Structure 1
Amino acid sequence: MSDHQPDGIGAYVESLVNSPTYGPQLVCHRVLPAVPRATAVPARPFPEHFNSRLRAIGIDAFYTHQAAAFDALGEGRDIIVATPTASGKSLIYHLPVLHSCTVESGNHALYLFPLKALAQDQRNGLAALQAAMSDEPEGTTPYAAIYDGDTSSAQRGRLRRQPPPVLITNPDMLHLSLLPYHDSWSSFFKRLRFVIIDEIHVYRGLFGSHMAWVLRRLQRIAAHYGSTPQFIMLSATIGNPGQLAEKLTGRTPLVIERSGAPAETKHMLFLNPWDSGAHVATKLLETALKRGLRTIVYSKSRKMTELITLWTKPRLGPLADKLSSYRAGFLPEDRREIERDLANGTLLGVISTSALELGIDIGDLDLCILVGYPGSVMATWQRSGRVGRAGRSSAVILIGGEDALDQYFMRHPDDFFNRPPEQAALDPGNSRISRQHLHCAAAELPLQVDEPLLAGTPGVRGEIQALVERGVLLQDEAGSSYHPSRKYPQRLFDLRGGGVKLSIIHRRTGEIIGEIDASRALREAHTGAIYLHLSKTLEIIDLNLAAQEVLVDDCKPTYYTRSMAHKQTEIIARSAHKDLFGLTICLGSLKVTETITGYQKINQFTNKPIATMALDLPEQVIETEGIWLNLPEASRRLLEDEQLHFMGAIHAVEHAMIAMFPLLILCDRNDIGGISCPYHEQTGGPSIFIYDGYQGGAGLAAQAFELIEELLVQTTATIDSCPCESGCPSCVHSPRCGSGNRPIDKRAAQRLLQAVVTGALASSRSTDSADEKVVGIGAPSPGRPTAPPAVSGRAALPDHWVVFDLETKRGADDVGGWGAVEKMGMSVGVVYDSQLDGFAAYLEDEINQLIDHLAGADLVVGFNIIRFDYRVLAGATGRHLFARPSFDLLKEIEERLGYRLSLNRLAEQTLGQPKSADGLQALRWYREGRIQQIVEYCRRDVQLTRDLFLFALDQGYLLFTNKAGATVRVPLSCDTVLARLLSR
């Protein structure tokens, strides 16, 4: 529809502006004028026959950014194109790929998309373009094929045997299926010319850190097969496209940001509602659909998506079937159907979370309604770009929510239009993530000590050493390469950090209606919670984490639920600090423990709590990166002298800083956590902590540390400009606060921040040293490595140590299995005694003397003595040795490798000496009365165990042959273990 028609977008906007109800609620109406296209001819044009085909399908010129991209690719450069939605970015990679694979048959390109729907969309677009550019009929192998979780086993086999020119997949499949089995894809990797990574702004935070390592592994495998593919990366408009691309690939690309694509007139309207934003969106959506305007509504939560759908459909009459909700958590087939219906016009409107933010083709839309600020300038422009694609005017209505960031832009709309897009943050140096991928890389190809990945990536050698010490990576005998402890470690973790998925099951039908992350389930799907799904209100009947199930039933409550939480933080290490405004600002590693303690039932109409229910749920512990602000004691005295609430002040400042975080850094406020402490035992005073809400951190806190001055100034301005008296969601209240926003004191927060930014607290530092106290920072906590022992090698041994082994009278089959070890009885026991430097043998009637001998030593060494030998002795005599300092070689090896190794396997490779017999042979000898043979055999095992123990003490490792046939080291820091055992 064009604007001159009475039901067009122009008429809709005019009606809204002139409405006596909504007109006064509009705080901004800006018309973005149409922009003509700007074209250019590539310096290295495509061949004429190629261009003629393009002209035949209506492409008679290239936009300036397309031409610049083609030129750079022709020079062999990597590129990152960050231009607005609908600016023709797909052609930037489709055409060079088509040309390359046409000119040089056998070349390949890898397309990576973060969503399956995007992959299908681009496959269809590329297939249509390829058909138009070629006279040849498509063969048995398609030109482009999708390889993802929905691809059948038979089709996967065909694609491996005969890969198409273009393989379309996602990061998860590259990580799990292509790289681990690269030998099956050797022909593909040998001729890999292009890697296309679309929507790279998605690869930030934890997902981005994983993606950076997946791409490093990809380059390593490609190099192994002799190829160096070019990277073509594409993004929505972001503040740091070059930096993001470089962090992702480890290579420096050409950045192309100036778009030559045309744009039609777009109305941008900011509406600050008097009523609930969701109710206003419902009425605006109803009017738009009845005018025939194709509309997309974005909400900030899954619950709000369902509520808007629930409230709007009854108002539409016969148009009710023309509206649907769409969000993550729906089953894939439901999402695909909604996408198809929206693209072909069966649906007029859709209400979505960010799930439809990316470039899935959903047809030409007229109106975009944003229910709440999307959280970033980038996301706002990205979602706005979904409308007005067919040469028609469009409109975007931003409905302000109560959130502080929403209200900031409602009060300062010009700042939105003048503000550059945020920077995307990721941290490839995240130790947890880099160690996971180094393990994967070693499983794909053994890591060489001098290879580029180790030599050219900062911090990697330290991570390698940590993995070796834990037995995750195993050095070869020469120490020149590293091998994995597992064959396929890729299966052990999720790139997206979502963790375990729980199935949502309807109690009455038994149908799986959706899924939810386990971490989110503790907050949103605990027993008693109210949960919305596909416009239905459900009650959580049971949360079963062990079975990975959430049981739900229909309900019609008059309340909604909000979880409550208790948090604690421990400082692990401080990596940087600086003084600012009289505060000490620190950056470092934190351990955060959170427990969901209960939930409140909140009246739907009054928003007042009507009941509080207790919960008993497991605590969640993460080690992450954060910043903390150490306040001088003068800040407490200042507020208390003015009879203001100090805890209420720092709590309010914490909330407001988190709310302002996304103004500077590309993230969601849900990615950030915070804790306010009126006194923290490690800092020795009051502190405010703000941290990445992900295990290992995501790079957000580190970026905030660099921008902390701007963050504090912006936080102060936001609280000061809010018209409320005592605090509200527009300034210092948080919808996620585990204590229900208590205590909160806006006035106290204003006074504190005023003192901070004016430097009033700086003068207190000379006499007030609370912020200088750092108590216990960097001290090891349980589970973290301790300091190395004061002595090493054989010097760490006590004066009197023994090595012990025994043989039994009965086998597992005789006593009912390995669970009944206590019933096996001892036939022979042998001890090597360090003071005697000799061996002592004990027969079955001397078992108590054997135990006395062991109990008299400072240390007992053995191989599987804790799980086996000690249990045999205890079963025969009732006497226990479990409390004695005991070094169990097998136990230590299993802790490092995750699996067990035989004594023979270790002795053969480490000492070059095999065992003389085995346990089954010893049982036969006992039945035959050949006791002396058992003594000799047991004595040999004790000798091997002793020599392995001493070798590990001297060298720090033992050797064995892994499943791949390589002789590798299993690290054993025996002196560290001894220090721990002997200090008990």
Structure 2
Amino acid sequence: MADRRLLDAAAPLPDAGPPRDDMPQGSVSEYVDSLKASPRLGSQVVYHRVLSGRDPEFGEPVRPWPRAVGNLLAERSIPALYAHQVRATDMVRAGRHVVVATPTASGKTLVYNLPVLERFLQDPDARALYMFPLKALAQDQLKAFNELTAGWPKDARPRAAIYDGDVSDYARRKIRENPPHALLTNPEMLHLALLPHHEKWSTFLAGLSFVVVDEVHTYRGVMGSHMAQVFRRLNRVAARFGAAPTFIFCSATVANPGELAQKLTGHEVETITESGAPQGKRHFVFLDPLEGAAHAAIMLLKSALARNLRTIVYCQSRKLTELVSLWAQDKAGPYKDRISAYRAGFLPEERREVEARMSTGELLAVISTSALELGIDIGALDLCILVGYPGTIMSTLQRGGRVGRSLKESAVVLVAQEDALDQYFMRHPEDFFERPPEAAVLNPHNEVILARHLDCAAAELPLTEGEPWLDISEVRQVMTAMEYDGRLLRSKEGDRIHSRRKQPHREVDLRGAGASYRIEALPQGASVGLVDEHRAFRETHPGAVYLHRGKTFLVKDLDLGSHTVTVTPARVDYYTRVRGSKSTEILEVHEYGSVWGTRIFRGRLRVTETITGYEKRKVRGGTLMTIVPLDLPPLVFETEGVWIEIPMEVQRQAEDKFFHFMGGIHALEHAMIGILPLIVMTDRNDLGGISTPMHPQVGLPAVFVYDAAPGGVGLTRQAYEKADDLMARTMDVVASCPCDLGCPSCVHSPKCGSGNRPIDKAAALFLLGALRDAPAPDIGPQCLPQLPDKKEETPTDGIAVTAHIPNAELRYGVLDVETQLSAQEVGGWRNARDMRVSCCVLYDSETNDYTAYREDELPAMFDRLQALDLIIGFNILRFDYSVLGPYAGALDLHSLPTLDMLQEVRRRLGYRLSLDALGAATLGAQKTADGLQALAWWKEGRIDEIIEYCTKDVELTRDLYLHGREHGYLLFTNKAKQTVRLPVEW
């Protein structure tokens, strides 16, 4: 057990002796000096920088605070607010939307609490919605809110309450009936509980004055694209009750906080980024360990504990968290009771206990995943150890900001892993401090996500013409397509749009894109959670090892029909990784230009991914155990991407020097994806790539990088804008890596579907050099790839349909069949061929007459059917043709040009409607009888009455067809008793 040997061998730096409760705290500077002088780790320190502290900067508000609010500040020994707090609260009090993006521990809580309390003093009916991405943050802020107002008289004190999944059903009902002044919740509860049931929240929504969105930088990528729609839905529902709340955003340091907040809400947002809070001297140490990041982190932690330094250790994975925690439990000796893990899988009460013990100083160290990156109060800390680069400069600064509050000296130690970004900063540490934080990216018009929220919005309140949201061209386009598909239904009058379902919300996973799959654990079938379709194929295929909240499951079944994943608890010593193949089709080109000596494009792609099997690899060491084949349908989705061409001359040069060309472009693709998070705030798992030696539309070799989320979230847009930087960084990563053949630090990818084969690092480096030195390429429309043909579309009554002009000379017929026997008499509907014909009626548009055919006259009818250009019926394919089949001889009825109106209705709506229901709503006409009555007439020999009834059905079907052909829709009454349009195209 190599990891266990590492634990046993771990030894501290020169320390300050055994721990004692009365032992004075060691100096952070002395700790850093000891690390640099350590025989074990000193030579592995590649960089040390000291950031000087700064003094506080205070300000005065434009309008003095009410005496009650001023007293709150005085009771907390706050003589004045920091300058950024004053500027932000002045704007909020003036009704402006604000985003405050300042470092951790800069007092952002007061920015929103003070205006909320002031508004409460002015208007006791005012309400505020506080949004937090984590439950622990809500608990922390509830405590802060209550402590702030504790000195006010109880009957005059504003109430605050948490509304999340940990709250009992009884408590939730009480909160709805008597809502607090400040409601603390999370995105899922807003989406699933408040918005769909807004009528139950009328008191709260009518008084909604503020929406506080904490840690807004977490709402990026797929999650951000979802939240952009959730906030727009919130604005719609609030307006329904006469409210127009002011948004207050708080963020870590990102490059574009104002743009992020604007995309999330559609509002203009004032931006505040300059902090007036004080900061002490801070050491940054970069360490590139020889024996592994976990080993080095354990030694650093032991030395910190010996010096009584309060420490937080951030691990990049649960596995590393558990490894360091194992030492904390088994090897810490006298430190055992003063150190704790903190990760997903802990019960809420367990997490709160850790937070409280850390805040009071009872705990000396905590080992955490990213769960403690956000602003949960765990008191003042001295040292932050990062086991692996967190993926972004923003996250690194956010985690490092947990230490050294006020003017206290602190240190951040970044312990590198073998990832490309980790090693990049080990080789270029200055670049970390010189480059600005990344921009947070989201796409508020991702059509996949937008469609799901338009469905939710229409179920909450009917969409109406003239809404500002619907005036946006991208939204209008998606809404029109949804109408055409029958997912949204226009009212009879045409001015209101409804969802076809009462409550579609539970099918929308805010952290995924596309359709959702429900994960159920055997044997009870308890719900484990949701996974979006794109991730389901990769992470929950049969045989996959699936992790959820610290527990391990084996996937037993992936049911594509019911969108259900069945798992069972398991303890295994291996993990799984999929293998597969991908192809891409270019659908649109949005931009094109040049980068180095080649052309670069940005556009819309259709990616087809086929999962062919999966690997089983040992947890310890990653040894390949076996490869298991899978038979899954291709996963096809549209997204945004960028691609570069590889000129034929560059390919020829590489092959002349006997480089493996495919291995070179494959390595180039991996390297680009690995370094792109240096430029865009993302994870490499949010990106995909394809390298092809000859793309049929491009006519050249090409390397594609695309957003891995269906619809795209805007990541590769920035890649296109910073293409020169991306190419330069990619070349530097490959060239400066000391490995010979390629490794995870440069050109290997942990999620490569072909197992990183073929890979040729030297070929990638040659290709990059050749592209850099190649002459500038020709740019122009003649260089565009060949795109697929588009169908022209034309609006009909506000509904987009494929352009089609009905031919006035089209000869069509309308057919209906009545039977002698019932389904019950022949053993069920599957035996319809045995029900025998009592009569058929056929309408012929050429003669404009109705002809009845009895059982012995059917050959004449078949001759007439074959002369028609189109045969129309209602359930004709599954029923009428089945009944007629035994009489048709060699004629294949299903080969005739047929329009089955029932099938078309079901295809658009997802469920069936009766001919009677469509006739009543559309034409005010109904059937004159039913099939059971016709069967009774047959037994009584009343064939003329059957013919008359059948003729009326044919007439009704014909009139519905003509109405749909002329107007582009039929009408029906939905379950909410609303008469709505069903778009049709025939």
TM-score, normalization by structure 2? 0.90
Q: Could you tell me whether the CA contact under 8 Å between 2:555 and 2:566 is conserved in 1? A: no
- Evaluate the alpha carbon distance shift between residue 912 and residue 780 of structure 1 in structure 2; reply closer, same or farther with a 3 A threshold: closer
The answer to whether the aligner puts 1:839 opposite 2:855 as a matched pair is no
Counterpart among 779, 782, 806 of residue 793 in structure 1:
806
Counterpart among 565, 569, 577 of residue 548 in structure 1:
565
Q: Could you tell me whether the CA contact under 8 Å between 1:44 and 1:74 is conserved in 2? A: no
Matching residue's letter, 2:486: G
Mean CA deviation greater in 959-968 or 367-376: 959-968
Query: Which residue does the alignment assign to 2:588?
Result: 573
The answer to whether the aligner puts 1:631 opposite 2:646 as a matched pair is yes
Deviations 1:601-633 (A, max 9, x none): 557777664654444455433321111112221
Mean CA deviation greater in 836-845 or 328-337: 328-337
* C-alpha deviation, 1:677, in angstroms: 0.6
Matching residue's letter, 1:714: R
Counterpart among 657, 671, 690 of residue 672 in structure 2:
657
The answer to whether the aligner puts 1:433 opposite 2:446 as a matched pair is no
What is the 5 A alignment of 1:175-190? 175-190=191-206
Counterpart among 119, 122, 145 of residue 138 in structure 2:
119
> 1 CA distance for matches of 2:548 and 2:712?
31
Q: Could you tell me whether the CA contact under 8 Å between 1:631 and 1:771 is conserved in 2? A: no
* C-alpha deviation, 1:338, in angstroms: 4.8
> 1 CA distance for matches of 2:71 and 2:621?
67
What value does the CA root-mean-square deviation take over the aligned residues? 3.3
Counterpart among 472, 488, 496 of residue 473 in structure 1:
488
Query: Which residue does the alignment assign to 1:420?
Result: 436
3-state SS of 2:895 partner: coil
Counterpart among 240, 244, 256 of residue 260 in structure 2:
244
Counterpart among 154, 160, 165 of residue 149 in structure 1:
165
The answer to whether the aligner puts 1:918 opposite 2:936 as a matched pair is no
3-state SS of 1:743 partner: coil
Q: Could you tell me whether the CA contact under 8 Å between 2:315 and 2:388 is conserved in 1? A: yes
Matching residue's letter, 1:131: A
* C-alpha deviation, 1:708, in angstroms: 1.4
* C-alpha deviation, 1:420, in angstroms: 0.9
* C-alpha deviation, 1:114, in angstroms: 1.6
Q: Could you tell me whether the CA contact under 8 Å between 1:31 and 1:266 is conserved in 2? A: yes
Q: Could you tell me whether the CA contact under 8 Å between 1:100 and 1:107 is conserved in 2? A: yes
> 2 CA distance for matches of 1:193 and 1:22?
55
3-state SS of 1:841 partner: strand
Deviations 1:433-476 (A, max 9, x none): 22222222222222222222222x23222222212211122223
- Evaluate the alpha carbon distance shift between residue 607 and residue 450 of structure 1 in structure 2; reply closer, same or farther with a 3 A threshold: closer
- Evaluate the alpha carbon distance shift between residue 673 and residue 323 of structure 1 in structure 2; reply closer, same or farther with a 3 A threshold: farther
Deviations 1:58-79 (A, max 9, x none): 2221111110011111222110
The answer to whether the aligner puts 1:282 opposite 2:282 as a matched pair is no
* C-alpha deviation, 1:116, in angstroms: 2.1
* C-alpha deviation, 1:387, in angstroms: 2.3
Query: Which residue does the alignment assign to 1:863?
Result: 874
3-state SS of 1:589 partner: strand
Query: Which residue does the alignment assign to 2:9?
Result: none
Q: Could you tell me whether the CA contact under 8 Å between 1:863 and 1:903 is conserved in 2? A: yes
Counterpart among 942, 948, 951 of residue 939 in structure 1:
951
Query: Which residue does the alignment assign to 2:797?
Result: none
* C-alpha deviation, 1:543, in angstroms: 5.5
Deviations 1:806-852 (A, max 9, x none): 22334445455555544444333211122332111123454555455
3-state SS of 1:261 partner: coil
Query: Which residue does the alignment assign to 2:776?
Result: 762
- Evaluate the alpha carbon distance shift between residue 634 and residue 441 of structure 1 in structure 2; reply closer, same or farther with a 3 A threshold: same
Mean CA deviation greater in 840-849 or 381-390: 840-849
Query: Which residue does the alignment assign to 1:362?
Result: 378
Counterpart among 946, 949, 969 of residue 981 in structure 2:
969
The answer to whether the aligner puts 1:403 opposite 2:455 as a matched pair is no
Query: Which residue does the alignment assign to 2:16?
Result: none
> 2 CA distance for matches of 1:382 and 1:230?
26
> 2 CA distance for matches of 1:510 and 1:431?
33
Counterpart among 682, 705, 716 of residue 701 in structure 1:
716
Query: Which residue does the alignment assign to 1:978?
Result: none
Q: Could you tell me whether the CA contact under 8 Å between 1:822 and 1:874 is conserved in 2? A: yes
The answer to whether the aligner puts 1:62 opposite 2:78 as a matched pair is no
Deviations 1:698-755 (A, max 9, x none): 1111222212122112222332333333333222222222223222222222222122
Counterpart among 953, 958, 965 of residue 965 in structure 2:
953
* C-alpha deviation, 1:511, in angstroms: 9.9
Identity %, equivalent residues: 50
- Evaluate the alpha carbon distance shift between residue 339 and residue 563 of structure 1 in structure 2; reply closer, same or farther with a 3 A threshold: farther
- Evaluate the alpha carbon distance shift between residue 435 and residue 385 of structure 1 in structure 2; reply closer, same or farther with a 3 A threshold: same
> 2 CA distance for matches of 1:717 and 1:253?
38
Q: Could you tell me whether the CA contact under 8 Å between 2:521 and 2:567 is conserved in 1? A: yes
What is the 5 A alignment of 1:493-532? 493-497=508-512, 500=516, 523=538
> 1 CA distance for matches of 2:919 and 2:741?
73
Q: Could you tell me whether the CA contact under 8 Å between 1:342 and 1:349 is conserved in 2? A: yes
Matching residue's letter, 1:476: S
Q: Could you tell me whether the CA contact under 8 Å between 1:146 and 1:169 is conserved in 2? A: yes
The answer to whether the aligner puts 1:38 opposite 2:57 as a matched pair is yes
> 2 CA distance for matches of 1:347 and 1:882?
76
Which segments of 5 or more consecutive residues in structure 2 lack a partner in the other structure?
Answer: 1-19, 793-799
Query: Which residue does the alignment assign to 1:808?
Result: 819
Q: Could you tell me whether the CA contact under 8 Å between 1:34 and 1:266 is conserved in 2? A: yes
Matching residue's letter, 1:164: P
Matching residue's letter, 1:98: L
3-state SS of 1:548 partner: strand
Deviations 1:158-182 (A, max 9, x none): 3232222112222222222222222
Deviations 1:906-931 (A, max 9, x none): 22232232222223333333343322
Query: Which residue does the alignment assign to 1:982?
Result: none
> 2 CA distance for matches of 1:756 and 1:719?
14
* C-alpha deviation, 1:29, in angstroms: 1.6
* C-alpha deviation, 1:343, in angstroms: 4.4
Query: Which residue does the alignment assign to 1:894?
Result: 906
Query: Which residue does the alignment assign to 2:119?
Result: 100
Query: Which residue does the alignment assign to 1:643?
Result: 658
Mean CA deviation greater in 672-681 or 485-494: 485-494
Deviations 1:470-499 (A, max 9, x none): 112222333333222222222332121176
3-state SS of 1:459 partner: helix
Q: Could you tell me whether the CA contact under 8 Å between 1:330 and 1:513 is conserved in 2? A: no
- Evaluate the alpha carbon distance shift between residue 958 and residue 63 of structure 1 in structure 2; reply closer, same or farther with a 3 A threshold: same
Query: Which residue does the alignment assign to 2:93?
Result: 74
> 2 CA distance for matches of 1:323 and 1:533?
24
Counterpart among 688, 692, 698 of residue 703 in structure 2:
688
- Evaluate the alpha carbon distance shift between residue 595 and residue 336 of structure 1 in structure 2; reply closer, same or farther with a 3 A threshold: farther
Counterpart among 38, 46, 50 of residue 27 in structure 1:
46
Query: Which residue does the alignment assign to 1:979?
Result: none
- Evaluate the alpha carbon distance shift between residue 828 and residue 322 of structure 1 in structure 2; reply closer, same or farther with a 3 A threshold: farther
Query: Which residue does the alignment assign to 1:483?
Result: 498
Mean CA deviation greater in 810-819 or 383-392: 810-819
3-state SS of 1:665 partner: coil
3-state SS of 1:554 partner: coil
* C-alpha deviation, 1:590, in angstroms: 1.7
> 2 CA distance for matches of 1:666 and 1:265?
27
Q: Could you tell me whether the CA contact under 8 Å between 1:823 and 1:876 is conserved in 2? A: no
Counterpart among 824, 827, 843 of residue 838 in structure 2:
827
Paired residues in the alignment total 955
The answer to whether the aligner puts 1:929 opposite 2:941 as a matched pair is yes
Q: Could you tell me whether the CA contact under 8 Å between 2:917 and 2:972 is conserved in 1? A: yes
> 1 CA distance for matches of 2:978 and 2:530?
43
> 2 CA distance for matches of 1:182 and 1:607?
51
Query: Which residue does the alignment assign to 2:730?
Result: 715
Q: Could you tell me whether the CA contact under 8 Å between 1:3 and 1:393 is conserved in 2? A: no
Query: Which residue does the alignment assign to 2:897?
Result: 885
3-state SS of 2:703 partner: strand
- Evaluate the alpha carbon distance shift between residue 886 and residue 743 of structure 1 in structure 2; reply closer, same or farther with a 3 A threshold: same
Q: Could you tell me whether the CA contact under 8 Å between 1:504 and 1:516 is conserved in 2? A: no
Query: Which residue does the alignment assign to 1:442?
Result: 458
Which segments of 5 or more consecutive residues in structure 1 lack a partner in the other structure?
Answer: 782-786, 975-984
